[in-house]
Amino acid sequence: MLRFGLMTAALCLALLTSPSAFAQAPENPNDAVPDAMPFDVPYGESVSIDEAKKIAAAAVAEAKKHGNWKMCITIVGPSGDLLYFERMDGAQLASV
């Protein structure tokens, strides 16, 4: 039993003093600051109100095609803000 304890202690000592234990961590890629914006993100509404109405009309047509599903249709902008909302007749009020 003493021999096993000594062998375990020697192995732990060898692992702690090995050169790989002191290796440096890789650099964080988030530390690099680009000189210019790496991509161009459009700012503003990506869908106009007329396009939102067309999208909602297509969703209503699809709902009616599938056995007159009663749905609430919401069109949102890129940041999640409400652009257009339509509640079909008979849709649950809690769906709003």
Asked if the structure places residue 81 within a domain, the reply is yes
Asked if the structure places residue 13 within a domain, the reply is no
Asked if the structure places residue 67 within a domain, the reply is yes
> What's the CA gap between 27 and 31, in Å, rounded?
8
Contact yes or no for 57/49 (Cβ under 8 A): no
Asked if the structure places residue 65 within a domain, the reply is yes
Asked if the structure places residue 35 within a domain, the reply is no
Span 7-61, pLDDT tens digits: 777 666 666 666 655 566 677 777 777 777 767 666 666 788 999 999 999 999 9
- Nearest Cα residue to 85 out of 95, 70, 75: 75
Asked if the structure places residue 82 within a domain, the reply is yes
Domain count, the chain: 1
Residue ranges making up the domain that contains 63: 49-95
Asked if the structure places residue 42 within a domain, the reply is no
91: CB partners within 8 A, 6+ apart: 70, 71, 72
67 phi-psi bin (left φ>0, alpha ψ -120 to 50, beta other):
left
